[in-house]
Structure formats: structure tokens, C-alpha cells
Amino acid sequence: MATSDEDKVAFVSATRALRRRLGSGVVRTDEVALKEASFDSSRIAVRPVAVIRPVKREQIGVVLKLANLHGVPVTPRGRGTTLMGSAVPLHGGWVLDLMGLDAIRIDAEAGLAHVQAGANVGAIQDAAAAAGWFYPPDPSSKQYCTIGGNIACNAGGMHGGKYGVTRDFVVALKGFLPTGEFVEWGTATRKFAAGFNLRDLWIGSEGMLGVVTDAVLRLLPAPAARWTLLTSFADEVSAFRAARALFAARVQPAICEFLDRASVTCAEAAMKTTIFPGQPGRPVILLELAGSPAELRDTKKTVLAWAAAHAAGHRAAKNRAEAEALWAVRRKCSGAMFQMGDAKLNEDITVPLGAYEEFAVWLEKLRASSGLAIPTFGHLADGNLHVNIMYHKAVPAECRAAEKAVLALMKKVVALGGAISGEHGIGLAKTPFLRLQHSAAAIGAMRAVKHALDPKGILNPGKMFEVFEVWKAPRVTASFPWDHK
């Protein structure tokens, strides 16, 4: 869908028609609103014609029907924390901002959360906890992002290995088809076997197959006890090998975070301390066990025996305050990486467990051949690693090296049987690599689904399938409250 001058004139006139229906409080065209909605955390920027912030669910149907009538592109938006450019209104048109629909209700008897798309994920977790329940999906951006955005991206987080990701907790969805009809996928019952499961088709569809307005989420009983252990290793290969031994011993940590040497070195420099005295810059695995006190007692014994056999050093927290101190290295590492460059490509690849050591050896070679710092950390229990390619924006040779390094990384993870994205999705930034992951037939099937549900291609057009030249894209200089989280 190209945006010609003629299109833009048509979008402006459609906006007037929409404003007459919904009012100027809902349909905004002021400078502040247009600027804020023009970019997400990728900082790729394209100005929309209007920003629509519905306060009632039915207004979304009106927006989509009018958009189809006039051919106006519509980009759904939560908080704009996506790093992939998936919330950028690439073809202008309307940004549909869901933040105004943010109700949360916990059904404490059924263990379900009834939420609207704009509800903040951290607030959902807090509401569940206040009722004695636990909502495990925990993206690092949870203080900011919306559940609608999490559903659209199938967001994950540190709890993924033991509990799963957003998809594993969505019981039912409500929302609008791209053509503006209201639909419900499932009910507030855990079992539902009536008809095709289009609920799961919407999850991870990056706002291209429908607009989520409401969700029912499954909750778990809150674990009564937690225990944290920090372990260090001689090198990355030893750490990966040890992690495999831990899982083979049938231990399922609630959290199993890995940080490589470079990540630890940056965090230690930022904290002005060495985590294990006399062993600076060693890779670490941070473990958190969660469960009943009885479960933890047994598992702790297994884990301590594992640490004694595999780790160079280990330290267990005796209480929550000590656990928080052990967590400092993980919290600091992301921001601290900017000691190694002023720009970061934060990749979220996955690697199968059996390929961990091979990947570690390969990554070391990539560091050497690219000449770039590539600090890596991530969630070991589900193979989701954040490979951070650091470079300096003003140094063309480093930009070229970073571009080459990402392509090499994507090819390698696919060759190892992993994924080019474990949790961030494709958006604009990963469009050059979709063909590495999927065959032409598979992409053809995805496009056919998109066309069947959105024949005029109005919902979040330009994402996923068309290759976007990310290095040439105009970007804004902007700082976000979530920078370096």
C-alpha cells in the first residue's frame, strides 16, 4: 500500500468523517499526539494523519469500517515499547491507541484475570498478587507495556522456561476483525473445542490480523517460597554445559538467567565491584527456585550439589534482601553495555539446548571476525538469548560490521534449529530475515491468511512480509522511561 499525495488527501478527509462520528477527544490530530504516535522503541518514525484513542470498545468497529471504506491504514498501538518497529504507522493513516481501555478484574475464585487491551502488564501482576494469584509472563518492559501488545507479540520473559509465555496464559480473546466486525475467540472457561482456534492465530500476529480489545488470562497460585543462587563459571561453554546438566537433573528453575563475560564485566564496572572476589568478569547463571517450602527444600539440595560439581563459585541468598543484591548484576547489565558502544542491536534469538556449546564457540568467532563487542545474556531454560551487537553510530565501518554480524547470527541460529526471534517478533526490523526462517510455501500461507482476514490490507500494513531497509530508515532521537531496562 503506497502513500501517494492523493492517498494523504483521502486520509485527511476520512479523518474528518471519523471525527464527526467519534468526537475530537477520541480523534486527535494535534502536533503532540501525532509526534508521540509516529515512533516506537525502534525509533523508526513515520507520521500518522490522526491518533485515535477509543474510550469504548464499539468505537473500534467504527474506525475499522470507515478505514476499509476509505482505504486508510490503521496501526494498533499499546505503549510503543516494541523494539522491532511493529507499532510504527509505516504508511501513515491512523494510529489506534488502545491505552484508554485499561480495566482489570480478577476472578479470585476461578483464578482468571479479565483485562482490557490497554491494561498495563505490571498492574495485572500486582492485581493478581493482591488476590493471592500469580501471572507469570514478565517482559522486562512490564512496568510500561500493555497486555494487548504482549498478546500481539506473544511476549515472553524470564519466567518462560518454567511457566511459558503469553500464549500459554490466554484463555479467551475479544476484539475486531480488520474489516470491523466484533468477534470472540473462546469463553472464560479453560476448555473450549468449538470451531477453529483463531485465538491462537491472533496471538503473535503483531496487530495484523485483528485488534484485541479484551482478554481472559489464566492465573497460577502464587508460589509460597523463593530461593536465589548466583553461580559463576570459567567460561561460556562451561556455563552452557552446566545448564544442560541442571535441566537433565529434572530441575525446573522459575528463572535461569545467563550472563556472559562481557555482560558481567560491564555490570561490574557499573557497580564498581566484583561479584565473586578475585574472579572478575566470569560468566554467571542466576537461578531462582519457586514453589512450596517442601518442594524448595528438596530442590535446593539438588541445586547445591550441581553448583558444587559444575560452578567455579556460588552464593545463595539467605533472605529477600540478599536475593535482591544478587539480582543487581542482571539488572545493571543491559544499560552498562553502552560502555562498549553508543548503539545496540538487541537480538532475541533462540538456540536449542543441544546446540548451546556450539553456539557459544561460534559467537566467540563472530566477535573476533566482526571486531565488535557482543555481550550476550538471556533465559537459559528456554534457549532465548539476547545477543547485543554493540557499535558506534558515527563509525561507518562499525555500522557495516554490525549489519553483517546480524545477518550471520540469523543464518547461524536457523542452521542450528533455533529461531530468529523468541519474543520480540518481526515488525520492520527483522523483515530481511523472515525468509531464512520460513519456506516460500510457509510465507505464502501466512500471506493468504492475512489476505483472507484483511482483503484491503488496512491493518498494520508493510510489516512482516515486505523487506524493510532498516539501516536506511529515518529515526528520531528520543529517550524513553524504559531505556536500559
Ligand X SMILES: Cc1cc2nc3c(=O)[nH]c(=O)nc-3n(C[C@H](O)[C@H](O)[C@H](O)COP(=O)(O)OP(=O)(O)OC[C@H]3O[C@@H](n4cnc5c(N)ncnc54)[C@H](O)[C@@H]3O)c2cc1C
Q: State in angstroms the smallest separation of the CB of 467 from ligand X.
A: 17
11-40 binders of ligand X (CB under 6 A): 40
Of residues 83 and 266, the one with the C-beta less far from ligand X: 83
In this structure, which amino acid lies at residue 129?
A
- Cα 382 to chain centroid, rounded: 14
Of residues 228 and 460, the one with the C-beta less far from ligand X: 460
Q: State in angstroms the smallest separation of the CB of 295 from ligand X.
A: 26
In this structure, which amino acid lies at residue 22?
L
Helix (H, G, I), strand (E, B) or coil at 9: helix
Of residues 77 and 330, the one with the C-beta less far from ligand X: 77
The CB-based long-range contact list for 234-239 (8 Å cut-off, 24+ gap) reads 234/282, 234/312, 235/261, 235/283, 236/260, 236/261, 236/283, 236/360, 236/363, 236/364, 237/357, 237/360, 237/361, 238/283, 238/310, 238/312, 239/283, 239/284, 239/285
Of residues 93 and 149, the one with the C-beta less far from ligand X: 149
Q: Which helix (H) or strand (E) holds 232?
A: strand 225-232
87-106 binders of ligand X (CB under 6 A): 87, 98
Of residues 212 and 242, the one with the C-beta less far from ligand X: 212
332 belongs to the binding site for ligand X (CB under 6 A) = no
Of residues 74 and 242, the one with the C-beta less far from ligand X: 74
Kindly tell me which residue out of 38, 42, 59, 82 binds ligand X, with binding defined by CB under 6 A: 82
41 belongs to the binding site for ligand X (CB under 6 A) = yes
347 belongs to the binding site for ligand X (CB under 6 A) = no
215 exposure class (CB count in 10 Å sphere: 0-12, 13-18, 19+): buried
125 belongs to the binding site for ligand X (CB under 6 A) = no
Q: State in angstroms the smallest separation of the CB of 104 from ligand X.
A: 15
Query: Residues 383, 422: contact at Cβ < 8 Å?
Result: yes
327 belongs to the binding site for ligand X (CB under 6 A) = no
127-166 binders of ligand X (CB under 6 A): 139-141, 145-146, 148-150, 152-153, 155-157
The most distant pair of C-alpha atoms in the chain lies apart, rounded to whole Å, by 70
Kindly tell me which residue out of 59, 86, 232, 421 binds ligand X, with binding defined by CB under 6 A: 86
Query: Residues 88, 91, 92, 98: is their CA dihedral positive or negative?
Result: negative
289: which strand partners? 227
Strand 27-28 vs strand 50-52: parallel, antiparallel, or unpaired?
antiparallel
Query: Residues 385, 378: contact at Cβ < 8 Å?
Result: yes
Of residues 7 and 206, the one with the C-beta less far from ligand X: 206
117 belongs to the binding site for ligand X (CB under 6 A) = yes
Of residues 140 and 302, the one with the C-beta less far from ligand X: 140
167, 433, 77, 160 alpha-carbon torsion, rounded to 10°: 30
Q: State in angstroms the smallest separation of the CB of 8 from ligand X.
A: 21
CA distance from start to end of the chain: 35
482 belongs to the binding site for ligand X (CB under 6 A) = yes
Of residues 128 and 296, the one with the C-beta less far from ligand X: 128
77 belongs to the binding site for ligand X (CB under 6 A) = yes
417-456 binders of ligand X (CB under 6 A): 423-424
Instruction: Return d(Cα 52, Cα 96) in angstroms, integer.
Output: 5
In this structure, which amino acid lies at residue 418?
G
Kindly tell me which residue out of 212, 289, 373, 409 binds ligand X, with binding defined by CB under 6 A: 212
Q: State in angstroms the smallest separation of the CB of 461 from ligand X.
A: 11
**What residues line the site for ligand X (CB under 6 A)?**
40-41, 75-83, 86-87, 98, 117, 139-141, 145-146, 148-150, 152-153, 155-157, 206-207, 211-212, 423-424, 460, 482, 485
